[in-house]
Amino acid sequence: MRILVPFEATRPKTRLDGVLDTDERVAFAQAMLRDVLRACRDAGHDPEVVATAEVDVSAPVAVDDRPLSEAVNARLAATDDPLGIVVADLALLTPAAVDRLVAAAADADLAIAPGRGGGTNGLVVTHPDFRVDFHGVSFRDHLDAAEAVGADVTVVDSMRLSTDVDEPADLVEVLLHGEGEAAAWLRAAGFELDPVDGRVGINRRE
Ligand SMILES: Nc1nc2c(ncn2[C@@H]2O[C@H](COP(=O)(O)OP(=O)(O)OP(=O)(O)O)[C@@H](O)[C@H]2O)c(=O)[nH]1
Ligand SMILES: C[C@H](OP(=O)(O)O)C(=O)O
Protein backbone atom coordinates (compact mmCIF):
# COMPACT_ATOMS: atom_id res chain seq x y z
CA MET A 1 0.00 0.00 0.00
CA ARG A 2 1.08 3.55 -0.66
CA ILE A 3 1.73 5.25 2.70
CA LEU A 4 2.23 9.01 2.95
CA VAL A 5 4.70 10.16 5.61
CA PRO A 6 4.31 13.91 6.18
CA PHE A 7 7.49 15.62 7.31
CA GLU A 8 8.21 19.16 8.49
CA ALA A 9 11.75 19.40 7.17
CA THR A 10 12.68 23.01 7.90
CA ARG A 11 11.75 23.59 11.54
CA PRO A 12 10.98 20.13 12.91
CA LYS A 13 10.14 19.24 16.49
CA THR A 14 10.10 22.76 17.94
CA ARG A 15 8.61 21.45 21.21
CA LEU A 16 11.94 19.70 21.86
CA ASP A 17 13.77 23.03 21.86
CA GLY A 18 14.38 22.82 25.62
CA VAL A 19 16.58 19.75 25.20
CA LEU A 20 17.87 19.84 21.60
CA ASP A 21 19.31 22.74 19.59
CA THR A 22 18.16 23.48 16.04
CA ASP A 23 20.66 21.23 14.24
CA GLU A 24 20.06 18.43 16.73
CA ARG A 25 16.29 18.63 16.19
CA VAL A 26 16.81 18.29 12.43
CA ALA A 27 19.13 15.28 12.91
CA PHE A 28 16.81 13.59 15.41
CA ALA A 29 13.69 14.24 13.31
CA GLN A 30 15.41 12.76 10.25
CA ALA A 31 16.46 9.68 12.27
CA MET A 32 12.82 9.15 13.32
CA LEU A 33 11.73 9.62 9.71
CA ARG A 34 14.18 6.94 8.58
CA ASP A 35 12.85 4.58 11.29
CA VAL A 36 9.28 5.13 10.08
CA LEU A 37 10.21 4.60 6.43
CA ARG A 38 12.06 1.39 7.28
CA ALA A 39 9.10 0.02 9.29
CA CYS A 40 6.72 0.74 6.40
CA ARG A 41 9.05 -0.81 3.83
CA ASP A 42 9.81 -3.87 5.96
CA ALA A 43 6.06 -4.42 6.25
CA GLY A 44 5.95 -4.56 2.45
CA HIS A 45 4.52 -1.10 1.76
CA ASP A 46 5.55 1.90 -0.33
CA PRO A 47 6.20 4.93 1.86
CA GLU A 48 6.28 8.35 0.20
CA VAL A 49 7.50 11.41 2.10
CA VAL A 50 5.45 14.59 1.77
CA ALA A 51 7.87 17.20 3.04
CA THR A 52 7.99 20.97 3.37
CA ALA A 53 11.51 20.96 1.84
CA GLU A 54 13.93 18.50 0.27
CA VAL A 55 15.20 15.75 2.55
CA ASP A 56 17.71 13.07 1.67
CA VAL A 57 16.14 9.68 2.44
CA SER A 58 15.80 6.42 0.58
CA ALA A 59 12.16 6.92 -0.40
CA PRO A 60 10.37 9.15 -2.89
CA VAL A 61 10.02 12.71 -1.55
CA ALA A 62 7.36 15.15 -2.73
CA VAL A 63 8.06 18.73 -1.67
CA ASP A 64 4.76 20.41 -0.85
CA ASP A 65 4.69 23.69 1.06
CA ARG A 66 0.96 23.62 1.72
CA PRO A 67 -0.19 23.17 5.33
CA LEU A 68 -0.19 19.54 6.55
CA SER A 69 -3.91 18.72 6.09
CA GLU A 70 -4.10 20.43 2.69
CA ALA A 71 -1.08 18.53 1.38
CA VAL A 72 -2.53 15.20 2.54
CA ASN A 73 -6.07 15.94 1.35
CA ALA A 74 -4.85 16.83 -2.14
CA ARG A 75 -3.44 13.31 -2.37
CA LEU A 76 -6.59 11.70 -0.93
CA ALA A 77 -8.66 13.53 -3.53
CA ALA A 78 -6.38 12.37 -6.33
CA THR A 79 -6.71 8.62 -5.76
CA ASP A 80 -9.40 5.94 -5.61
CA ASP A 81 -7.03 3.46 -4.01
CA PRO A 82 -6.64 2.92 -0.25
CA LEU A 83 -4.09 5.37 1.11
CA GLY A 84 -2.10 5.14 4.32
CA ILE A 85 -0.84 8.13 6.30
CA VAL A 86 1.70 7.69 9.10
CA VAL A 87 3.38 10.59 10.89
CA ALA A 88 7.17 10.82 10.83
CA ASP A 89 7.79 11.05 14.58
CA LEU A 90 6.99 7.45 15.54
CA ALA A 91 10.41 6.37 16.81
CA LEU A 92 9.00 3.09 18.14
CA LEU A 93 7.27 2.02 14.94
CA THR A 94 7.76 -1.60 13.84
CA PRO A 95 6.63 -3.49 10.74
CA ALA A 96 4.16 -5.41 12.93
CA ALA A 97 2.52 -2.17 14.07
CA VAL A 98 2.24 -0.97 10.46
CA ASP A 99 0.71 -4.33 9.55
CA ARG A 100 -1.91 -3.95 12.28
CA LEU A 101 -2.94 -0.52 10.97
CA VAL A 102 -3.21 -1.75 7.39
CA ALA A 103 -5.03 -4.96 8.39
CA ALA A 104 -7.57 -2.94 10.38
CA ALA A 105 -8.66 -1.22 7.16
CA ALA A 106 -9.64 -4.53 5.56
CA ASP A 107 -13.09 -4.40 7.17
CA ALA A 108 -13.57 -0.66 7.56
CA ASP A 109 -13.66 2.56 5.55
CA LEU A 110 -11.14 4.08 7.90
CA ALA A 111 -8.53 2.62 10.23
CA ILE A 112 -7.19 5.16 12.69
CA ALA A 113 -4.43 5.05 15.30
CA PRO A 114 -4.76 7.76 17.94
CA GLY A 115 -1.74 9.61 19.26
CA ARG A 116 -1.31 10.41 22.92
CA GLY A 117 -2.83 13.75 23.86
CA GLY A 118 -5.61 13.81 21.29
CA GLY A 119 -3.74 13.63 17.99
CA THR A 120 -3.76 11.12 15.16
CA ASN A 121 -0.66 9.14 14.26
CA GLY A 122 -1.85 6.78 11.56
CA LEU A 123 -4.74 6.37 9.15
CA VAL A 124 -5.67 4.09 6.32
CA VAL A 125 -8.41 5.66 4.25
CA THR A 126 -10.55 3.60 1.90
CA HIS A 127 -13.66 5.83 1.88
CA PRO A 128 -13.63 8.19 -1.12
CA ASP A 129 -15.00 11.22 0.75
CA PHE A 130 -12.99 11.15 3.98
CA ARG A 131 -10.55 14.04 4.45
CA VAL A 132 -8.03 14.69 7.26
CA ASP A 133 -8.04 17.59 9.70
CA PHE A 134 -4.81 17.47 11.68
CA HIS A 135 -3.85 19.60 14.70
CA GLY A 136 -5.93 20.24 17.81
CA VAL A 137 -7.92 17.23 18.99
CA SER A 138 -7.57 15.59 15.60
CA PHE A 139 -8.49 12.09 16.78
CA ARG A 140 -11.94 13.30 17.85
CA ASP A 141 -12.23 15.47 14.73
CA HIS A 142 -11.38 12.51 12.49
CA LEU A 143 -14.07 10.37 14.14
CA ASP A 144 -16.59 13.17 13.55
CA ALA A 145 -15.42 13.58 9.94
CA ALA A 146 -15.83 9.85 9.35
CA GLU A 147 -19.36 9.91 10.76
CA ALA A 148 -20.24 12.90 8.58
CA VAL A 149 -19.38 11.01 5.38
CA GLY A 150 -20.83 7.68 6.59
CA ALA A 151 -17.46 5.96 6.92
CA ASP A 152 -17.20 3.11 9.41
CA VAL A 153 -14.13 3.19 11.57
CA THR A 154 -11.75 0.76 13.27
CA VAL A 155 -9.60 2.25 16.02
CA VAL A 156 -6.15 0.66 16.35
CA ASP A 157 -4.97 0.36 19.94
CA SER A 158 -1.17 0.22 19.72
CA MET A 159 1.54 1.54 22.03
CA ARG A 160 4.00 1.86 19.12
CA LEU A 161 1.56 3.77 16.93
CA SER A 162 0.32 6.02 19.74
CA THR A 163 3.76 7.13 20.91
CA ASP A 164 4.62 10.15 18.80
CA VAL A 165 7.65 12.04 20.03
CA ASP A 166 6.59 15.63 20.67
CA GLU A 167 7.88 16.64 24.08
CA PRO A 168 10.99 15.95 26.19
CA ALA A 169 9.09 13.43 28.36
CA ASP A 170 8.43 11.35 25.22
CA LEU A 171 12.19 10.72 24.90
CA VAL A 172 11.87 8.32 27.86
CA GLU A 173 9.80 6.01 25.65
CA VAL A 174 12.40 6.17 22.87
CA LEU A 175 15.23 5.29 25.27
CA LEU A 176 13.19 2.46 26.80
CA HIS A 177 11.54 0.86 23.77
CA GLY A 178 13.28 2.23 20.67
CA GLU A 179 15.43 -0.07 18.60
CA GLY A 180 16.10 2.10 15.58
CA GLU A 181 18.15 5.06 14.45
CA ALA A 182 16.36 7.62 16.63
CA ALA A 183 17.08 5.66 19.82
CA ALA A 184 20.70 5.20 18.75
CA TRP A 185 20.99 8.93 17.95
CA LEU A 186 19.68 9.86 21.43
CA ARG A 187 22.07 7.49 23.19
CA ALA A 188 25.02 8.75 21.14
CA ALA A 189 24.04 12.31 22.07
CA GLY A 190 24.40 11.37 25.75
CA PHE A 191 20.77 10.94 26.76
CA GLU A 192 19.99 8.35 29.41
CA LEU A 193 17.12 7.45 31.70
CA ASP A 194 16.98 9.30 34.99
CA PRO A 195 15.15 7.01 37.44
CA VAL A 196 14.11 9.60 39.97
CA ASP A 197 11.21 9.03 42.37
CA GLY A 198 7.90 8.77 40.54
CA ARG A 199 8.02 8.96 36.74
CA VAL A 200 11.32 8.22 35.01
CA GLY A 201 12.93 11.27 33.40
CA ILE A 202 15.85 11.89 31.07
CA ASN A 203 19.32 13.14 31.75
CA ARG A 204 22.04 14.23 29.31
CA ARG A 205 25.63 13.41 30.13
CA GLU A 206 28.10 16.29 29.75
N1 LIG B 1 4.23 18.05 4.95
C2 LIG B 1 4.07 18.61 6.17
N3 LIG B 1 4.29 17.86 7.28
C4 LIG B 1 4.14 18.46 8.49
C5 LIG B 1 3.79 19.81 8.64
N6 LIG B 1 3.73 20.11 9.97
C7 LIG B 1 4.03 18.97 10.62
N8 LIG B 1 4.29 17.98 9.74
C9 LIG B 1 4.58 16.57 10.05
O10 LIG B 1 3.37 16.05 10.60
C11 LIG B 1 3.62 15.20 11.71
C12 LIG B 1 3.01 15.74 12.99
O13 LIG B 1 3.63 16.96 13.27
P14 LIG B 1 3.62 17.65 14.70
O15 LIG B 1 4.11 16.73 15.76
O16 LIG B 1 2.30 18.29 14.93
O17 LIG B 1 4.63 18.85 14.45
P18 LIG B 1 6.21 18.87 14.34
O19 LIG B 1 6.51 19.90 13.33
O20 LIG B 1 6.76 17.49 14.08
O21 LIG B 1 6.68 19.28 15.79
P22 LIG B 1 6.44 20.67 16.61
O23 LIG B 1 7.20 21.74 15.91
O24 LIG B 1 7.01 20.38 17.96
O25 LIG B 1 4.95 20.91 16.63
C26 LIG B 1 5.15 15.05 11.75
O27 LIG B 1 5.45 13.92 10.94
C28 LIG B 1 5.65 16.33 11.10
O29 LIG B 1 6.93 16.16 10.52
C30 LIG B 1 3.55 20.58 7.44
O31 LIG B 1 3.23 21.76 7.46
N32 LIG B 1 3.71 19.92 6.24
C1 LIG C 1 -0.49 16.66 13.49
C2 LIG C 1 -0.92 16.57 14.91
O3 LIG C 1 0.12 16.04 15.64
P4 LIG C 1 0.35 16.28 17.24
O5 LIG C 1 0.67 17.73 17.38
O6 LIG C 1 -0.87 15.85 17.95
O7 LIG C 1 1.52 15.42 17.47
C8 LIG C 1 -2.17 15.69 15.01
O9 LIG C 1 -2.02 14.50 15.35
O10 LIG C 1 -3.23 16.18 14.71
Q: Is the pLDDT of residue 93 over 90?
A: yes
Residue 75: enclosing H or E segment and its boundaries? helix 68-77
**What domains, with CATH codes, occur in the chain?**
2-166 (3.90.550.10)
For 115, other C-beta atoms within 10 Å of its C-beta total 19
Name the percent of the chain lying above pLDDT 90. Answer: 97
Measuring CA to CA, which residue among 24, 22, 27 is closest to residue 11? 22
Find the 205 Cα to ligand 2 centroid distance in Å: 30
Q: Which ipTM score applies to this complex? A: 0.98
What SS3 class is residue 187? helix
Q: Is the pLDDT of residue 101 over 90?
A: yes
Output the average pLDDT for the chain: 97
Residues 150-169 as b or e (16 or more Cβ within 10 Å = b): ebebbebebebbbbbbbebe
Instruction: Report the pLDDT value the prediction gives residue 198, as an integer from 0 to 100.
Output: 82
Identify which of 14, 28, 68, 72 to mutate to test ligand 1's pocket (most ligand atoms within 8 A of the CB). Answer: 68
Q: Is the pLDDT of residue 65 over 90?
A: yes
Q: Is the pLDDT of residue 139 over 90?
A: yes
**Ligand 2 binding pocket includes 8 (Cβ within 6 Å):** no
Question: Per-residue pLDDT tens for 162-192?
Answer: 999 999 999 999 999 999 999 999 999 999 9
**Residue list, ligand 1 pocket, CB within 6 Å:** 6-8, 12-15, 50-52, 64, 67-68, 71, 87-89, 166
Longest dimension (CA), the chain: 55
Q: Is the pLDDT of residue 196 over 90?
A: no
Measuring CA to CA, which residue among 202, 77, 102 is closest to residue 156? 102
Ligand 2, atom 7, residue with closest C-alpha? 119
